[in-house]
Structure 1
Amino acid sequence: MAEADPFKPAAAAEASAAERRKATRLKRMRLIAMLLVPALIVGGALYWWFGQPGEVSTDNAYVKQDIVSIAGEVNGLVVEVNVHENQQVKAGDVLFRIDPTSYRVAIQQADAQIAGAQARITALQADVGANAADLAAARDDLALAEAQYAREKALLDRGFNTRARIDEAQHAVAVARDRLGSIGAEVEKARAQLATGAQVPGLNPQVAAAEASRAKAALDLTRTVVRAPVSGRVTQVNRLQIGQMVFTGVPMLSIVREGGARVEANFKETDLAHMRAGQPAEVKLDAYPGLKLKGHVDSIGAGTGSEFSVLPAQNATGNWVKVTQRVPVRIAIDSSSGDRPLIAGLSANVTVHVDGK
């Protein structure tokens, strides 16, 4: 009987242990792979979702509305105020009235100027007619004097006349010629005064000037009644009092235009990389907690706020400190605020979904 090899069991045990270790490593590697692949997928998704800015927000935002300043177009004293603070008005409503007395007098003066100009025209026309008759008579007198001179000259040549009579005939011709020239000058002067204007054919310049003055006076009279140019709410009425002097072009009150409310959000320049016009936005107002308004980016400002300040920053100095600039972004409001008015100047919080969601 052959003797058993004492090393075989040990070798077999060692081989079995090696196989178990190899199997364990394979299981571990498969487990790691099973955990790593989903982790990479989840990590990539998280990077895509959070690594790219999906939205940007700012609380440096305010409601804006068009505000129309109302000023008088003529000077005068306020005699009537027809509105009160925060009153809703429609375009064409009377806001206040200016004393019209001086402007009515101006119309009367203009009417008198027109009448005077027309009377002068009538007188000139009469003068032209009379001078025309005198001119015809002067022509006849000159013709008669010249004929008489010719007869006297013929008699003198035949020896039947004296030199004195020839001199008298020559003097008569000269007098008739001078009278004809004088009357002709008067006729031309009258006709020149009756000449029609080049800009308004058929209308005498004097009459045209008087009628223009009358039209200006009538326009100024209508301007003594100041009306609302737009619909909206009246503000700053306390600046307007009865008896107060109004000067042309000086604002007396304001109207906040009806509708057209928008939000001006001042975003940091670092928030603009992915912002585009048309992207959806959400607006929350501090005055109305819980109210969320839908909107969209209407436009992005052409310059930072500092560029349009009264004293723009001068950075070409040695003490320059970099400051993140803000750019005004106009947000158009798409949804209704219901019975909650969008008052100009209200603070807002704006979120823009730069991913378009």
Structure 2
Amino acid sequence: MDMLKSEDLSEQYDSSDTLAEDDQDIKNADYSPSGKSKRRWGRWIVMAIVPLTLIAIGGYFWLTSGQSVSTDNAYVQQDRVSVAAEVGGRIIETNVSGNDLVKEGDILFRIDPAPFEIGLAQANAAIAGAEVQVQALRTTAAGTSVDISAAREDIAFAQATFERQQALMQRGFTTRADFDTAQHAVEQARERLRQAQADAAEAQSFTANARSMPGENPAIAAAKVQREQAQLNLSRTIVRAPSSGWVAQADRLQIGQMMVSGLPALTIVSDKKTWVEANFKETALTKMQVGQRAKITFDAYPDIKLKGHVESIGAGTGSEFSVLPAQNATGNWVKVTQRVPVRIALDDISPRPLIAGLSAEVTVDIRTKGK
């Protein structure tokens, strides 16, 4: 019983304390006109914050709308060079593989040079043969002058013999047969002189007159051209990088593989020139001009934002240069907004390597004036 009485007394004390606190709050409450005004202004401020915020956001978008055009149909582009062997043959050495970085002039692979070394030896032999032939013609030309002198001596001797036979024939001391023989000898001597003169003219035409260039016989010149071609083919067995960049599509570059002249063996993606090709809708080109500033972001590197400018606007839509262009002059025609490739030059240097084909997003500020 004593415990119950004590609990009831404690509850009475607690309730009395609570009532005392409430009475104190009521006494402290400000029911003056100034207090009511403050509470009223606070409610108005709270109610005005939301619409003012919406108005500010809407005004920002209204002021900034129409000042830029953007597209996410954009990709990184780089120059690509297909490297092919200029001579055919078997690959005996490879110095690169896929994704290797090479510099201009680096050796990519070698082709078996043995057949081309044989061709060079044949060309050198052809030059030697042509020189021997020219020397023989010169010797022949020198010998024809001797033949001409001998032919003239024969003519003089035959003419003298003929005159003696003619004198004897007039006196009757010789026969008709001897006279005819002497006359025939004169004619033969004259024919030998004409033949010697013709041989001399032919030899001189090969040694002096018929020349492809001053001081050089055409046979020797042709043999030298053949040697130059053989040397060129031999030098082409070493295939070098035409430009610096990254090696790609090098699957066919295997030792023992037979290379066909003109067939691409690998591709070099140049690291010197990088740009972005953005395919804008035709409706976005209304105010776009060459030289306008642009901002580029990349899906692969979200933290990288580069500056650039419009370098050129494509001469035709993408569909015009496709393998099978659309035929709009048909009955089932549906108007489709076309896209035009726009080349964006990069003004900043990327801190990370830009890979050809990476997706990008381009925003062009059409407020700026172009060139």
Partner residue, 1:30: none
What TM-score comes out, normalization by structure 2 length? 0.79
Partner residue, 2:40: none
Partner residue, 2:361: 349
| Residue 348 (structure 1) shift | 0.1
1:63 aligned to 2:76? Answer: yes
| Residue 230 (structure 1) shift | 0.6
Q: How many residues are matched?
A: 312
Distance 1:162 1:300 in 2: 108
* DSSP-derived class of the 1:297 partner: strand
Contact residue 196 and residue 203 of structure 1 kept, 8 A: no
Distance 2:208 2:263 in 1: 43
1:200 aligned to 2:213? Answer: yes
Runs of 4+ in 1 over 6 A off after TM superposition: 45-48
* DSSP-derived class of the 1:261 partner: strand
1:74 aligned to 2:53? Answer: no
What TM-score comes out, normalization by structure 1 length? 0.82
Contact residue 92 and residue 230 of structure 1 kept, 8 A: yes
**What do residues 228-251 of structure 1 show as CA deviations (whole Å, max 9, x unaligned)?**
111111112222100001111110
| Residue 211 (structure 1) shift | 1.1
Distance 1:150 1:218 in 2: 67
The 5 A counterparts of 1:177-188 are 177-188=190-201
The 5 A counterparts of 1:28-107 are 49=63, 53-107=66-120
Contact residue 123 and residue 223 of structure 2 kept, 8 A: yes
Contact residue 300 and residue 328 of structure 1 kept, 8 A: yes
Q: Structure 1's 178 and 196: CA in aligned 2 closer, same or farther, altered over 3 A?
A: closer
Contact residue 90 and residue 112 of structure 2 kept, 8 A: yes
Partner residue, 2:260: 247
Distance 1:196 1:245 in 2: 47
| Residue 215 (structure 1) shift | 0.7
After TM superposition, the structure 1 stretch with the greater mean CA deviation from structure 2, 166-175 or 196-205, is: 196-205
Unmatched 5+ stretches in structure 1: 1-41
Q: CA RMSD in A?
A: 2.2
Amino acid of the structure 1 residue aligned with 2:299: D
1:214 aligned to 2:227? Answer: yes
Partner residue, 1:144: 157
**What do residues 202-227 of structure 1 show as CA deviations (whole Å, max 9, x unaligned)?**
21121111111111000000000000
Distance 2:285 2:360 in 1: 19
Contact residue 196 and residue 204 of structure 1 kept, 8 A: no
Partner residue, 2:347: 334
Amino acid of the structure 1 residue aligned with 2:279: N
Partner residue, 1:315: 328
Counting aligned pairs with the same residue, the percent is 56
| Residue 290 (structure 1) shift | 1.6
Contact residue 311 and residue 343 of structure 2 kept, 8 A: yes
Q: 1:284 aligns with which of 271, 282, 297?
A: 297
Amino acid of the structure 2 residue aligned with 1:347: S
Distance 1:47 1:212 in 2: 74
